[in-house]
Amino acid sequence: MEIHQLRYFRAVARNGTFTRASEAEHVAQPSLSQQIRKLEEELGARLFDRTPRSAKLTVFGRAFLPRAERILRELGEAKTQIQEMCGQESGEISVGVIPTIASYLLPRILNGFSERHPGVNVRVAEEITPVLLERIHAGEIDTAIVATPIEGEGLACADLFEERFYAVLPEKHEKARWRRVNLAELRNERFLLLKEGHCFRDSLIAACRESRMRPNVVFESGHFSTILAMVSAGMGVSAVPAMAAQPYPGCRFIPLANRRGARKIGLVREPNRFETRAQKVFREHVIEVCRPGAGS
């Protein structure tokens, strides 16, 4: 059994076709297919059900995949650890971030980090929280910036900051000049919210429940920019975290007075996995950038 065979097997499992897997691994498809067949012969079991347009894991392939991933991950960590012992601050970091944070916080983090650590390449994955946690456990990403707490996941968390929520009202709304507003005072409004799966939506719904009100959701989107455009057009009201409460034509941002009208943001990682020097300096950099008063 060869290491490259395990890599090719993982690539086919992730990409769903031999063609896309060969492109991802930068190898000719016939060569990749041949190595997969050799692996199957050695194991004595078919790993994929092949069709003209796809390759799906068999029951044997599904059982073998997590073990192959663990072997490849441990080999990668062993190589990195030796490089660390040699004092090399280089390599690659895979970072996940939730969509409600990515465009606001990442530029501040990545620009400064690249200047201070040019030998470290940072790859970013923007996904909702459940997907990021799954990818951390699978070893596909090293760390993620998410809303916390994350319960029952067995992850280490470095607290970054707390972020208040703001109601978003059309500028001609009767409450648009208020200094603060409670969600209960918006119970009769039409709400425009993020789609299910976004943790900010979950936090806002929890705050609504605490105010003993159920929002009348008439529109859902995956992006704050779309929601703000709809609010500006007078189609309803919404809420956003503080970093998204930036001037927008036709919108007014009013701080929410609710006790649960805030969220905590943290940097999470798998505590039992070896932390490289590059990962450590990235974690320290993020904490520094996010500390109160930094960059102000």
Distance in angstroms (rounded) separating the CA atoms of residues 20 and 24: 6
57 and 103 assigned to the same domain: no
In the predicted structure, residue 127 carries a pLDDT above the cut 60: yes
Domain with 249 in it: 89-296
CATH of the domain at 72: 1.10.10.10
Identify which of 140, 142, 145 has the alpha carbon closest to the alpha carbon of residue 109.
145
78 and 95 assigned to the same domain: no
Q: What is the pLDDT of residues 193-237, one digit of tens each?
A: 999 889 899 999 999 999 999 999 999 999 999 999 999 999 999
Q: Taking the model in full, what pTM does it have? A: 0.69
64 and 95 assigned to the same domain: no
164 and 46 assigned to the same domain: no
CATH of the domain at 233: 3.40.190.290
140 and 231 assigned to the same domain: yes
Distance in angstroms (rounded) separating the CA atoms of residues 241 and 163: 6
Distances (CA, A) of 36 to 3, 26, 138, 200: 12, 15, 22, 43
The per-residue pLDDT for 83 is 63
Residues in the chain: 296
Number of domains, the chain:
2
The per-residue pLDDT for 258 is 86
In the predicted structure, residue 156 carries a pLDDT above the cut 50: yes
Last residue of a domain, one of 48, 68, 84: 84
27 secondary structure, DSSP code: S
110 and 245 assigned to the same domain: yes
Last residue of a domain, one of 34, 68, 84: 84
Last residue of a domain, one of 67, 84, 101: 84
User: Exposure of 278 by Cβ count < 10 A (0-12 exposed, 13-18 middle, 19+ buried)?
Assistant: buried
71 and 158 assigned to the same domain: no
Secondary structure (H, E, C), 59-100:
HHHHHHHHHHHHHHHHHHHHHHHHHHHCCCCCEEEEEEECHH
Q: Is cis: bond before 215, omega within 30 of 0? A: no
Question: What mean pLDDT comes out for the span 121-133?
Answer: 91
- 217-254 in b/e form (b: 16+ CB < 10 A) is eeeebeebeebbbbbbeeebbbbbbbbbbeebeebbbb
118 and 167 assigned to the same domain: yes
255 and 280 assigned to the same domain: yes
48 and 175 assigned to the same domain: no
18 and 144 assigned to the same domain: no
Q: Report residue 214: phi and psi, to 5°.
A: -115, 115
Average pLDDT, whole number, for the chain? 89
Question: What is the amino acid identity at position 87?
Answer: G
The per-residue pLDDT for 137 is 85
The per-residue pLDDT for 233 is 96
221 and 285 assigned to the same domain: yes
Distance in angstroms (rounded) separating the CA atoms of residues 244 and 111: 20
